[in-house]
């Protein structure tokens, strides 16, 4: 397993006056795993209160992806290098106890283009002890294939997310959310081929190799719950749970406890563990000998197989207030080690990964 070190990119911001605040931050995320995949993602974000009730946020990131994973090898191609650019813009308007928001996202890479939007609302009730939220989501995507200028497929998605956040006494905060999305159009990978017969991999032993074929619509549902409790003045603990299910037959559970310790007046150390387990889609098979038993569908997508993962991470965030100036410097980092165990995927049983993130930011009051 290769290791990569994060590099911190300097960030800048323009000061604002009065009680308004301007924030700017930059981070670099690096992930490398035992499946010969490396991802490097530098990002820059800025948020500013343009008026006392209006906030604007903008961010930009670059995803540099290099891979020679089992998926690439079995597709009979060499190592792949891709770069994705993504820009996000959001506006939040506060109207007393009500907040309205609108956001737009544009993402592009050599073989994929995506336009996404979100409209949201939040209202505070019961002396701000209860917050109700609702978001409407949508995206319009175009799927291409590198080296094939005539391949172009459409993908659309719409969805909604509702949430309730409740303050339970002076020390405990809880949130429950439900999200549903429906995607339609081309939902397969143009690079993924499936062996019919043989040992499950497209090679000389397979009588046939066909392009991946999955349903042209998918409804995803997830239920999310989390709670956090203060354990004195320096400690707090949290617990998150997520249930996911869709009409492809995939069902998953994720649970993530964490603990945070304020080791200095403005420094916080956090430790987190996450366990994830998932069942396979109804039409997924490690090996296909015919298509009758899978309703005519065939896939080599490992994310539709049965697997479980364990993840352990630690992060530290420190704030530095400059004396005599309304400026705060924020710096921190996070590291995560994870292992994914595939229980029914031919050619791959386990992937070990290391993730590193470095962050630096400024806040102007």
What domain range includes position 329? 22-192+215-282+301-364
Domain presence at residue 112: yes
Domain presence at residue 16: no
Domain presence at residue 15: no
Of 3-7, 113-117, 139-143, 345-349, least confident by mean pLDDT is 3-7
Do residues 338 and 353 make contact, with C-beta atoms less than 8 angstroms apart? yes
pLDDT of residue 318 exceeding 50, the answer is yes
Q: What is the pLDDT of residues 7-63, one digit of tens each?
A: 333 344 444 444 578 999 999 999 999 988 999 999 999 999 999 999 999 999 999
- Kindly report the CATH number assigned to the domain that includes residue 111: 2.40.160.40
Domain presence at residue 292: no
Q: Compute CA distances 270 → 138, 239, 261, 263, whole Å.
A: 34, 13, 6, 10
Classify each residue of 191-212 as buried b or exposed e, where b means 16 or more C-beta atoms within 10 Å of its C-beta. Answer: bbbbbbebebbbeeebeebeeb
Tokens linked to 336: 């995560």
Tokens linked to 226: 């989390």
Query: Rg of the Cα trace of the chain?
Result: 23
Match 């710096």 to its residue by tokens. 331
Do residues 334 and 314 make contact, with C-beta atoms less than 8 angstroms apart? yes
Q: What is the pLDDT of residues 109-142, one digit of tens each?
A: 999 999 999 999 999 999 899 999 999 999 999 9
Q: What is the pLDDT of residue 72?
A: 55
Using CA atoms, how far apart are residues 279 and 275, in angstroms rounded to an integer?
Answer: 14
Domain presence at residue 124: yes
Domain presence at residue 184: yes
Q: What is the pLDDT of residue 326?
A: 83
Domain presence at residue 50: yes
Number of domains in the chain: 1
Q: What is the pLDDT of residues 240-261, one digit of tens each?
A: 999 999 999 999 999 999 999 9
Domain presence at residue 109: yes
């Amino acid at each position: 397993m290769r290791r990569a070190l994060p590099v911190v990119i300097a960030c800048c911001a323009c000061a604002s006056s009065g009680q308004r605040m301007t924030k700017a931050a930059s981070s670099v995320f690096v992930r490398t795993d035992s499946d010969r995949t490396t991802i490097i993602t530098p990002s820059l974000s800025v948020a500013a209160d343009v008026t006392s009730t209006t906030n604007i946020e903008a961010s930009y990131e670059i995803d540099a992806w290099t891979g020679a994973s089992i998926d690439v090898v079995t597709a009979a191609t060499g190592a792949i290098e891709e770069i994705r650019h993504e820009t996000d813009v959001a506006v939040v308007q506060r109207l007393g106890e009500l907040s309205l928001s609108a956001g737009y996202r544009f993402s592009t890479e050599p073989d994929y283009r995506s336009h996404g939007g979100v409209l949201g609302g939040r209202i505070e009730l019961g002396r701000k002890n209860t917050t109700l939220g609702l978001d409407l989501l949508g995206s319009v995507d175009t799927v291409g294939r590198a080296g094939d200028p005539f391949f172009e497929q459409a993908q659309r998605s719409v969805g909604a997310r509702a949430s309730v956040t409740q303050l339970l006494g002076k020390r405990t905060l809880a949130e429950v959310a439900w999200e549903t999305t429906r995607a339609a159009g081309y939902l397969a990978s143009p690079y993924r081929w499936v062996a019919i017969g043989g040992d499950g991999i497209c090679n000389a032993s397979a009588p046939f190799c066909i392009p991946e074929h999955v349903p042209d619509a998918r409804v995803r549902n997830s239920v999310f719950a989390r709670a956090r409790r203060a354990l004195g003045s320096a400690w707090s603990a949290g617990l998150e749970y997520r249930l996911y299910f869709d009409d492809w037959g995939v069902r998953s559970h994720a649970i993530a406890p964490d603990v945070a310790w304020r080791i200095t007046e403005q420094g916080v150390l956090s430790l987190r563990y996450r366990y994830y387990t998932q069942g396979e889609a109804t039409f997924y098979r490690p090996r296909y000998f015919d298509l009758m038993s899978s309703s005519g569908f065939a896939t080599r997508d490992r994310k539709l197989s049965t697997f479980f993962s364990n993840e352990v991470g630690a992060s530290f965030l420190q704030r530095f207030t400059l004396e005599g100036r309304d400026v705060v410097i924020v710096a921190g980092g996070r590291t995560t080690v994870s292992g994914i165990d595939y229980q029914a995927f031919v050619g791959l049983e386990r992937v070990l990964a290391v993730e590193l993130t470095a962050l630096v930011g400024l806040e102007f009051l």
